[in-house]
A and B are shown apart, each in its own frame.
Chain A
Amino acid sequence: MSVLNSRVGRRIGAIAAAGALLVSAGCGGATVNGAGGSTPAAAGSSAASSGGSSGGSSAAGSAAASGSAPAACGSFNLAMNDWVSYTADAAVVSYVATNSLGCKVNQKALKEQIAWQGFPTGQIDVILENWGHDDLFKKYITDEKVAVDAGLTGNVGQIGWFVPPWLAAKYPDITDYNNLNKYADMFKTSESGDKGQLLDGDASFVSNDQALVKNLNLNYKVVNGGSETALIQSFRSAEKNKTPMIGYFYSPQWFLSEVKLVKVALPPYTKGCDAVPAKVACDYPEDKLNKIVSAKFANSGSPAAALVKKFNWTNDDQNLVAKYITADKMTPAAAAKKWVDANKAKVDAWLAK
């Protein structure tokens, strides 16, 4: 019995010790964080205690440098959708907002639809590159008025059907949809049966391909690759192994700087030709990509809101930053710095009053 008691005693002692540890972590002594300068009193006390270490003093130094910017901006929540050209936009805007305006940017990695859900609750202030999404536009902007269109990014999106370059070089007439049936046999795969395979991508992409295949009387079957990864890897293998492939793709996209896919001409787009989804028999329209911000943020008078509204650049600009990130393996922040340093004039125009 006494043995048992002593064991229990030790166990309780250990728990108390763990508690003491947490307390010491929570309120004991100075913190390195104090050096950041957000709480002046803490900064003073920690400077005294960590002044002896070089690490501590350099931390204080770098924080002071960024703290010198005007503090009027505050913070805003930026959605980080999961594709590279979006990352390029977000990196540049975050870099400029942080370093020129002194804002704090909270980047939140989210799927597109979930990012829109953040507008009514104030958890998302900015979506930097929006591809269409008429349904969400109607719900959040037209009906609920919790978000507003903050203008174009200057990037133009183009969806279409593409083939790898070796195929276009070998069969030059393959880039006209009228000739696709002639080559259908070549595109047969284990997934498409006796028809040619047209590979589609991520389920979130806008696609008229089922209707197009039917209405243009093409002997093809749309196969869902299911993700951008599947699409890119398939095109990469097709070019490397010289295997035939045709699929859905889009620009701007970082992969196009690795493999220059060739677009297949579909019947030209005319306004309204894609009005009825089941009857579409024309190419995809050009998507003029835009920015969406929450209504509250747009009316806040924050300099960051003005920056987002004025932010505008070309496909070449975006592709360059995307290349820094993908091919050159730079961090988004470093890629943004490199581009901003080389394009002062453009950045100044975004910041102009």
Chain B
Amino acid sequence: MATGLVERPAAPPIGPPGGPPRRALSVGTLILLGTLAVWLLGRVVFANRFTLPLAQADLSPLHTNLNGFNDWVDANRNTNPLFLYFFNEIRQVVDATGTFFTHLISKTDVGLGIPQIGWLGTLILLTWVAFWLANGKMAVLTAVVFFFIGLQGLWPDAMDTLALVISAVLFALLVGIPLGIWAGTSDRFNKIVTPILDFMQILPSFAYLAPLALVFLIGPAAAIICTIIFAAPPAIRITAHGIRQVPATTREAVDSLGVGRGQRLRGVLLPMAKRTIVIGINQTIMAALSMVTIASLIGAPGLGLTVNQALQTLDVGTAFNGGLAIVLIAITLDRVSTAASLRAEIAARAGGHSRNVRWIVIGVGFVITVVAVLLSRTYLWAAQFPRATLPDVGTPISDAATSASDWLTTNLAGFTSGLKNGFTSAILNPFESLLTGTPFFIRGLVLVVLGAHPPPPPPPAGVVACLAIMVYLGVWQDAMSTLAATIVATIVVTMLGIVFGVWMGRSKTTDRILRPILDAGQTMPAFVYLVPFLALFGATRFTAIIAAVVYAAPASIKIIADGISQVSTNTVEAATSAGSTSWQLITKVQLPMSAKALALAVNQGLIYVLSMVVIGALVGAGGLGYDVVAGLSQRDLFGKGLAAGLTLVVMGIILDRITQAAARRSLGDSISPMIARKQQTPLG
């Protein structure tokens, strides 16, 4: 270990992209091998000492102190100015907004509880908005999807969910876009805000659900704010990224004209960043939708609650029906907002004639929408979805899902338990024992070397500080066992990402078929598919790893597919005409040329896997996730749960920076953390 540290400053700084990669690689490899040797030696010499264990119900003094937070809030809620003039004000505004949308499209408090705009009005209105923002195809998609959700028997729940998502997205953008602009124009603010955003995205929502409900009370405000915390970061990051990617030459040209800062922003930077900002909005919507099952734990009604209640009785069919509605809404909102971002450019190229037709259609659509809204306010059939008179597709869907799940669990059980046992004893157990059995200081040193070589960033001091925080937080051993499962899952995710990503990137048809399935993997509430997995693999770390892989692989696959498909056709054609086989084309041309996408896919796969740590703990993973869940449910363990959540954040930040450093090392140029997170929509 000493060699690693002493040698580090002497190590030759990596050359510019054109430098001699072989030599840098060999020094790097030597250091890595040396580190690994020290690590293994430490594992043997110290065999399970200095591993900082802490039994399940034991607390460190820090954990006990954190427990005092609850009492403090209860005592100060009606007197402390922080509450009177800050939290309570926020709560009232957010509550009012949430209630407004709920009354508008879901239900009111009076009489039959019929919303201001009934189902017919809402359906036509959504369709009209989709046409206005995007195009006719998207309008048809919206109409079909929402009508289908009605047939599933889930209209009221879907509207509750939509009201929550709309309110949360509204606030997330209201706060996020200005902050993003600030972060895009000020380097200093960007530096400050990045770790805060990391924090908001990685800290498991289970760790802050109880405090949120304590500060903002039980009700729409707490649910909406918990969604905002998770959904605002993509808007901020991507807006900043959009502003930053405006070419320096353009900025200089504008500056030379002597315009003011405000004018430069409004006239040049914002219009040029518009498309990227719309991608940020899209990601914010996706992130908000992925929080609906979590929000239902603190009293938010809607599809998340439908899924959770069905799972109380292990009713996979009903849960799947609800989950499918969430997936459909997510896909619709995703496609509509993506089409909206493209429309600006297409519209600019289109002729005046088609623009006029478009505005006529919008005008006619508006009249139809007004009529539909008025109808839905007058007649009951247009106000409440007429489930009795229309065919019911919900029951067949849930029956089919139930029998599919039964068939799987009956016919595959023998094969799967062998697979699980083999994988666990051959790969997972040895690796976990290496991590948990090594003294904390050696393990820390490995991370420092990995993160620091070669310099510069991340500065080793930063990694050391992060490690010190991890030790202070007092759940070291749980952290190591979580780390082991995380790394194994990330490796599997990356392998899947390469195989399917290459396949999708090379074939448009495959892309079209696989993409909705990947979307489903990202937005389907995890427990819907975890019940059959529990039957097949039991409550084990293996099941938890599968859950993480199902959720994280789609992101990895999509990123690699995008990378492969962006390799220029000329290059591919040149290679093909030179007689390359498909295999050579993939390994020698397409993969190397999408190295940047590959590195990004590893980074994103890792962050996504980390965001499943809590879900994993619900199916047998133990570790940090279990501490976090226990903290939500048991008052005595609140502090420990929060500490575990913070440990997860710190670990996530270290791993994120290490993978980014590795990406930089292999590419010789920097990958912006903003791009790195562009597509992130973890489930929390």
Contacts and interface: CB of A to CB of B under 8 A. Distances in A.
A226 B629 contact: yes
Nearest to B58: A278
A151 interface: no
A231 interface: yes
A25 B380 contact: no
Interface string A217-252: 000000111111111111011001100000000000
Given A30-B377, A144-B74, A241-B413, A117 B214 contact: yes
Nearest to A133: B635
Contacts of A3: 352
Contact of B111 (A26, A35, A110, A226): A35
Interface in B265-286: none
A225 to B, nearest CB: 4
Contacts of B355: 7
B94 to A, nearest CB: 15
B56 A210 contact: yes
A315 interface: no
Interface stretch (A51-59, A171-179, A297-305): A51-59
A113 B629 CA distance: 12
B218 A118 contact: yes
Nearest to A83: B312
B121 interface: yes
Contacts of B378: 29-30, 32, 49-50, 53, 56
Given A121-B217, A226-B617, A204 B630 contact: yes
B620 A226 contact: yes
A329 B315 CA distance: 9
Interface residues of B, number: 89
B298 interface: yes
Contacts of A191: 424, 538-541, 620
A114 B619 contact: no
A50 B299 contact: no
Give the dominant DSSP class at B's interface.
helix
A186 interface: no
B420 A190 contact: yes
Nearest to B213: A114
A49 B375 CA distance: 11
A181 interface: no
A139 B210 CA distance: 16
Interface in A109-127: 109-114, 117-118, 120-121, 123-124
Q: Output the residue of A28, A118, A202, A230 with the most chain B CB within 10 A.
A: A230
Given A229-B534, A326-B313, A203 B633 contact: yes
A136 B540 contact: no
Contacts of A139: 70-71, 635
A228 to B, nearest CB: 8
Contact of B635 (A26, A39, A136): A136
Contacts of A102: none
Main SS at interface, chain A: helix
A63 B111 contact: yes
A258 B192 CA distance: 56
B377 A25 contact: yes
A10 B347 CA distance: 14
Given A33-B112, A204-B634, A231 B539 contact: yes
B108 A123 contact: no
Given A38-B110, A224-B626, A234-B534, A25 B121 contact: yes
B55 A210 contact: yes
A258 B617 CA distance: 26
Contacts of B625: 226
Interface string B420-438: 1100110001000000000
A111 B298 contact: yes
A24 interface: yes
Given A111-B632, A123-B217, A325-B313, A233 B535 contact: yes
A230 B620 contact: yes
A55 B380 contact: yes
Nearest to B75: A144
B332 interface: no
A24 B374 CA distance: 8
B77 interface: yes
A230 B634 contact: no
Interface string B213-255: 1100111000000000000000000000000000000000000
Nearest to B132: A14
Contacts of B118: 32
Given A204-B634, A224-B622, A226-B618, A190 B425 contact: yes
Contacts of A241: 413
A234 B362 CA distance: 55
B633 A112 contact: yes
Interface residue range, chain A: 35 or more
B648 interface: no
A223 B626 CA distance: 11
A189 interface: yes
A25 B117 contact: yes
A196 to B, nearest CB: 14
Contact of A226 (B55, B297, B539): B539
A260 interface: no
A153 interface: no
A331 to B, nearest CB: 11
A329 B71 CA distance: 42
Interface stretch (B4-12, B31-39, B365-373, B556-564): B365-373
A269 to B, nearest CB: 20
Interface string B366-395: 100110011001111101000000000000
A3 B314 CA distance: 60
Q: Which of B117, B313, B625 has most chain A Cβ within 10 Å? A: B313
Contact of A36 (B111, B379, B622, B630): B111
B535 A236 contact: yes
Contacts of B619: 225-227, 229-230
A32 B539 contact: no
B296 interface: yes
B542 interface: yes
Interface string B104-132: 10001011111011100100010000001
B515 to A, nearest CB: 30
B301 interface: yes
A199 interface: yes
Contact of A109 (B299, B311, B366, B379): B299
Nearest to A254: B313
Nearest to B298: A114
A39 B530 CA distance: 48
A69 interface: no
B618 A229 contact: yes
B377 A29 contact: yes
9 contacts: A28-B377, A50-B379, A108-B218, A109-B305, A113-B634, A226-B622, A233-B539, A234-B539, A326-B315
Given A135-B634, A202-B629, A227-B618, 16 more contacts: A17-B366, A21-B125, A30-B377, A31-B116, A33-B110, A50-B380, A111-B209, A113-B632, A118-B218, A190-B541, A191-B541, A204-B634, A229-B619, A233-B314, A237-B538, A326-B315
Closest 10 CB pairs of A and B: A36-B111, A204-B633, A55-B380, A225-B539, A203-B630, A190-B424, A230-B539, A233-B534, A227-B618, A33-B111
Interface of A: 3, 7, 10, 14, 17, 20-21, 24-26, 28-39, 49-50, 53, 55-56, 58-59, 63, 82-84, 87, 108-114, 117-118, 120-121, 123-124, 135-136, 139, 144, 189-191, 199, 202-204, 210, 223-234, 236-237, 240-241, 254, 277, 325-326, 329
